[in-house]
Amino acid sequence: MTDTRAALTSLPKAELHVHLEGTLTASTRSRLAARHGARDPLAGVDLGAECRCFAGFARVYAEGSTVLRTAADFADAVDAYLAEAHGYGVRHVEFAVDVQTHHRRGVPLGSVVDGVCEGIDRWRSRGVSGGMIATLDRQDSGSAEDVLRSLRPRRDDVLGIGVAGDERAGAPTAFAKEFAAARDWGWGRTAHAVAPDHIEAALEALGVDRVDHGFRVAERADLVDRMIGQDIALAACPVTNVLVGPVPSLSAHPLPRLMRLGVRASLSTDDPAYFGCGLEDVYAAALNEMGLRLEELVECAVTSVDSSFATVRRKSELRASIDSWRDAHMPTP
């Protein structure tokens, strides 16, 4: 299995469901905080204990995000994550960025966009592409329109729009207007949705191109059929689903069953700095604990490319690199 894990590490892949704020390791937080004469706001906090429930995770996540203040901070955060992710095959990454959080803190959204773009640009010569998804906050639908207005001048530098946060704050239908604007700008559309009614609302009211998490689609056969019929892929984060608590174990996760029914899915980390699990670990867990076969994991990599918001040309390049990997590691008998 060690050889299989090593092979999966070299498999070219995209990561579509990773929050930039959730990539901030202790060393990155400390470095960015020191730049502003401060200390890591989470120094001494037991993140493992705090992140066992969504409320605790949300609290430390918000505190950790305060180290991001300037374009240079955002660029360095992107750079730090790609320094790790590139080593396990990530060649395209779409960072969910909590634009409303930063807007509320007075960070100019132009600086956010500049920083993410600069961070990605540092890695283009090493075969990495990507960008940011402007992710709205379910608990703050009131400021969403203003935030999008601020992003309008930079709409060509943003890949897509998303919505995240505690589903108890309300259905995603509150953001229909913003998603319609994003569609008109040519942005990709995605939404965090777990409860089946929220998945249905994301499909109908937001017109999403893919669904983040979405594993509870398994509870409704009509939604499974709809996902397959419309070729809407899941950007799945199975390890997070277990660590935060909605799913009791990886062996009980419905993703393998959904994939075998025909639902397409990619694998992602969600918030790797807080849950201590890189994408290499997610793929290994999917193989060893979830029971996905090697060929199914390769299909996850293909889906990560196909359901990304990359250009047609870039998708073609990434698919070709996966084909080359397959020739080298899974030769036809």
Whether the per-residue pLDDT at 95 is higher than 60: the answer is yes
Q: Percent of the chain at pLDDT above 90?
A: 88
| Tally of domains in the chain | 1
Per-residue pLDDT reduced to its tens digit, 170-222: 888 999 999 999 999 999 999 999 999 999 999 999 999 999 999 999 999 99
Question: How many Cα atoms are found within 13 Å in the side-chain-facing hemisphere of 72?
Answer: 5
Q: How confident is the model at residue 166 (pLDDT cuts 50, 70, 90)?
A: confident
Domain of 227, in residue numbers: 2-329
CA atoms of 114 and 296, how far apart (whole Å): 37
pLDDT computed for residue 6 by the predictor:
83
What average pLDDT does the structure give for the chain? 95
pLDDT computed for residue 1 by the predictor:
40
pTM of the model: 0.95
Q: CATH number, domain at 61? A: 3.20.20.140
Instruction: Find the mean pLDDT for residues 289-302.
Output: 96
Element at 192 (helix H, strand E): strand 188-193
* Distant-in-sequence, close-in-space partners of 237: CB < 8 Å, separation ≥ 6: 17, 212, 213, 267, 268, 269, 270, 282
Tabulate helix, strand, coil % of the chain (nearest 5): 60, 15, 25
Per-residue pLDDT reduced to its tens digit, 247-282: 999 999 999 999 999 999 999 999 999 999 999 999
